[in-house]
Amino acid sequence: MSRVQHAHREPVMQSTLSMDPMEDLAPAMGDTPGFFQLYTPKDRDLAVSLIQRAEAAGYKAIAVTLDTWVTGWRPRDLNAANFPQLRGYCLANYFTDQQFLKRLAKKPEDDIAAAAAEWAHVFGYSLTWDDLRWIRQATTLPVVVKGISHPDDARRAIDLGVSGIYCSNHGGRQANGGLPALDTLPDLVDAADGVPVLFDSGVRSGTDTVKALARGATALRVGRSYAYVLALGGEEGLVHYIRPVLAEADLVMAI
């Protein structure tokens, strides 16, 4: 993903939950800016370690995730017993972090079940406004808050020193029936008063990108579909997906 997005000059966002450590992913981004998406753990020392590792690795901003501090009720995942982290997947950033390793009696590779259980214990921290202060102090990078849906929250976050507002409802897969992110976007843009507003949730096509830009988004992010494409077609598949999205956006703007 990082290589494809660098080739197309599109910023990439790397999650805390990844199959490879952030340090291994960063070089593939080249000089294309990358965001590190922080899922804040309950252990503050671990959170600071993840933030500072991202800065040292060359990421250009920290996106603090507010829209999923615990996972929602997902019947499809439950029916398929789909929770890869409990089998040790997507935890490379934890398993390579000295603060996390201090919490374990054995190395992750020697007891993957215990390491995954410790991750489950430390995951799921509900942030408060006060947490933005120590997060800001932990890094010199810009901080973006991801999952803002109300203009009052946008204004308060900006007052606390964030550099960007990220309008998102996590693709609508956390709380079914929640407000569509696209509907909340214009009020957030007004409240941000010139501070950049990023957007995701429901972006699948070039037409979707133009709609979000027309409603005031500074930039937007494709979420779920890139994962489907990578699973089916790898890097070539992702290239095949991105090019039509960009081409459709050009044509919509021309029309």
Active site residues: 170
Measured CA to CA, the distance from residue 151 to residue 185 in angstroms comes to 9
* Residue with the two structure tokens 């409240």: 191
Measured CA to CA, the distance from residue 140 to residue 217 in angstroms comes to 25
Bridge-partner residues for 61, per DSSP? 35
Which residue, 127, 181, 194, 123, is CA-closest to 155? 194
| Joined tokens for residue 209 | 């990108």
Measured CA to CA, the distance from residue 162 to residue 135 in angstroms comes to 10
| Sheet bearing 12-15, strands edge to edge | 12-15, 34-38, 61-65, 143-148, 164-167, 197-199, 219-220
3-state helix, strand, coil split of the chain in percent (to 5) is 50, 10, 35
Burial class (CB in 10 A: 0-12, 13-18, 19+), 239: middle
Which residue, 82, 83, 84, 97, is CA-closest to 38? 97
| Rg (the chain; Cα; Å) | 18
Asked whether 11 and 219 are in contact (CB, 8 A), the reply is yes
